[in-house]
Amino acid sequence: HEITQQPLSYDNLMQRLVADAAQFIRRNAEKPFLLVLSYLHVHTALFSSKDFAGKSKHGAYGDAVEEMDWSVGQILKVLDELKLANNTLIYFSSDQGAHVEEVTPKGEVHGGSNGIYKGGKANNWEGGIRVPGILRWPGVIQAGLEIDEPTSNMDVFPTVATLAGAPLPEDRIIDGRDLMPLLQGKTQHSDHEFLFHYCNFYLNAVRWRPRNSTSIWKAFFFTPKFSPEGANGCFSTHVCYCHGRSVSYHQPPLLFDISKDPTERNPVTPATEPRFQEVLDTMQQAVDRHTKTLKTVPNQLSLGNLVWKPWLQMCCSPSGL
């Protein structure tokens, strides 16, 4: 609730974040704590401190990755020093896939790589939403365990709440699921039979993990039009949009079996999949159930919320900051 720096300076920002996080852990070492450390690395505009700038073989992006890697190590060292490692769940993840369109005029990639996966940030191809999820809890989660099941960053909330012994709210739909049964091997399947992928407020795609099958079905109602033609992103607009002429609508929906085709290159058809219509019908029924749970909420982008309020702006408040 305090402005700690004005104007904002990137100088040694990572070091300052790490120092603040370490201080927080030390202050709360004798009681349960929740530390959420949201990095500015590796979001653009890229930056690194002098200890890391120009050191990586992968340019500015690599420098930022290495500095973030260093900072994670510093947090782990504090936990080890305080002998908290065996009693602390660590969850490292990303909010989205790499921004494939983030390329400098010199051709240097500043948005990372999504490997074999199609698309990237701001769309629901696997490259946009399949992100790393790395967890550590010695003695509780088996070391080296790999889980290839659909989960969501929304699962962090119910997982942490359950571990803390806190009841979940009962006055709303909670979309996340407790991850611990999956992480501890008590179940082999994600609690998410269906996941719903939105592009802004438009329902874009649905994922179905049947209980009695190895398939993971994913159906697209519309897909972004990549540009230029043949590209793996929307380079002409720098990011893909979610409506109008920027997308292609599909009827019937575009259907993939992600378990066999994670690169989403070969949609299945009635000719190649005997259960094609049955699968789509089941997914549509799930969509219908899902949409019935949605409630109208205040518009955060209404005119009243968007209009300039000088008294709320950090850089221009009447107090002279």
**Residue for token pair 């940030």:** 121
Out of 191-195, 226-230, 306-310, pick the least confident. Answer: 306-310
Using CB atoms within 10 A of its CB, is residue 250 exposed (0-12), middle (13-18) or buried (19+)? middle
Over residues 83-100, mean pLDDT:
95
pLDDT recorded at residue 11: 87
Contact between 227 and 236 under an 8 Å Cβ cutoff? The reply is yes
Q: Which CATH architecture has domain 89-312?
A: 2-Layer Sandwich (3.30)
In the chain, which ranges are E strands? Answer: 90-93, 133-136, 194-199, 202-208, 217-224, 247-257
| 211-215: Cβ within 8 A, 24+ apart | 214/259, 215/257, 215/259, 215/260
Q: What six digits make up the tokens of 319?
A: 């107090």
pLDDT recorded at residue 297: 86
pLDDT recorded at residue 321: 45
| 40 contact partners, CB below 8 Å, separation of at least 6 | 10, 13, 14, 47
pLDDT recorded at residue 315: 63
Using CB atoms within 10 A of its CB, is residue 24 exposed (0-12), middle (13-18) or buried (19+)? middle
pLDDT recorded at residue 295: 87
Per-residue pLDDT reduced to its tens digit, 118-143? 999 999 999 999 998 999 999 999 99
Please give the backbone phi and psi of residue 68, each rounded to the nearest 5 degrees, phi first: -65, -40
Which of 195, 193, 256, 246 is closest to 220 using CA atoms?
Answer: 256
Contact between 203 and 250 under an 8 Å Cβ cutoff? The reply is no
Strand ordering across the sheet containing 194-199: 194-199, 202-208, 217-224, 247-257
The Cα angle at residue 229 between residues 225 and 231, in degrees rounded to 5: 85
Over residues 229-252, mean pLDDT:
95
Per-residue pLDDT reduced to its tens digit, 18-77? 999 999 999 999 999 999 999 989 988 899 999 999 999 999 999 999 999 999 999 999
pLDDT recorded at residue 1: 61
Three-class SS of 98-111 = CCCCCECCCCCECC
